[in-house]
Amino acid sequence: MIINKVLNNNVITIINENNEESVVMGRGIAFQKKKGDEIDQEKVDKIFVLKNKSINDKLIALVNDISVENLEIAEEVIKYAEKKLDTKLNENIYLTLTDHISFSINRYKSNLEMKNVMLWDIKRLHKAEFEVGLKALEIIKNRINIELPEDEAASIAMHILNGELSQDMPQIVDIINLINEILKIVKYHFNVDFDEESINYYRFITHLKFFAQRLVNGKYYEDNDNDLFEMIKNKYPKSYECTRKIEGFIKQKFNNELTKEEKLYLIVHTARVVKENY
C-alpha cells in the first residue's frame, strides 16, 4: 500500500485497485511517513471505502479532525446495529454517526449536557433502535471510560433510524411526530392502552414508520385490489372508522387523500393491535 495522503499519525488515504480513495487506519501507521511511502501492512487495522464519493470525501475530511478511537466506536455501533436490526444501513451513517459521537464526547469533556426532547418517544416507538443506542453507550464506556447519559442513546437511535430510512434528521423528527399523532388517534378512538411488548404492536409501529416515511416524501401505495379493501372494511368496521379519522388528520396536515391500499393496511394493522375480531 502506497500513501496518498497523511491525515495524522494513525490515518492515511490510499488509492485502491478500483481507483477509489480509501481511508486506512492503524496505530502509528503514518509515523514519520509521507506521500508516496509504502506502509507496513501489519499496522493496518481498518480500511474504509464508501461507494458514494461525496460521502467518502466528507469522511476523509472528518477523520482528519477526530480521534481514530471515535471512528472505531462508530464502526462497532454500525456493525452491531446492522446485525441486530437485520438491515444494511445507508453508508451516510459512517459520516453522521461518527461526527455525532465525536461531538457528544467532546461536549461531555466540556461539561455541556444537552437533553433530547424526543427521549420518551424514541424509547417507546423505536425500541430496537434505542437498544442500539444503549449498546453504543456501553461501547463508549468500555473503550474510553466515558459514561454518556440516556439522552445520547436516543440521539444515536435517531441516527440509526436515519440510516434505515435514508432521511435527513428533520424528516426523522417529522416521522416520529407523525407516528405519535396516529397512535393517539387509535388510542383515543378505541380507548385502549397498547401492549407495547406485543408482536402486533411491533408490527404496527414498523408499518407506521414506513407509512410516515411515504407521507413525508409524498409517496403512496397504488390502488390494486378494491374488492379486498371492501372485504377488510366490512370485517373490521371499528378499525375502518378509526382509519377514516387518520385519513382526515392526514388530509388536514398534508392535503392528500390516502389510497385504498394505504387504508387497507392501516385497517388491518389497527385491527390487530386493538384485537378487533381477533
Residues in the chain: 278
The pLDDT score that the predictor gives to residue 220 is: 65
- Amino acid in the structure at residue 13: T
The pLDDT score that the predictor gives to residue 261 is: 85
C-alpha cell read off for 88:
444494511
Q: What is the dihedral of CA 128, 132, 133, 139, to 10 degrees?
A: 160
Cα(271)–Cα(242) distance, rounded to whole angstroms? 10
The pLDDT score that the predictor gives to residue 147 is: 95
C-alpha cell read off for 79:
456493525
Cα(36)–Cα(26) distance, rounded to whole angstroms? 17
The pLDDT score that the predictor gives to residue 67 is: 80
DSSP 91-128: TTHHHHHHHHHHHHHHHHHTT-----TTHHHHHHH-HH
The pLDDT score that the predictor gives to residue 47 is: 82
Of 35, 38, 44, the C-alpha closest to 10 is 44
Find the angle CA(222)-CA(227)-CA(232) to the nearest 5 degrees.
90
- In tens, the pLDDT along 151-181 reads 999 999 999 998 888 878 888 888 999 999 9
- In tens, the pLDDT along 197-247 reads 888 898 899 889 888 888 888 776 666 667 888 899 999 999 999 999 999
Domains of the chain, first to last: 1-50 (2.30.24.10), 66-166 (1.10.1790.10), 182-274 (1.10.1790.10)
3 state DSSP class of 3: coil
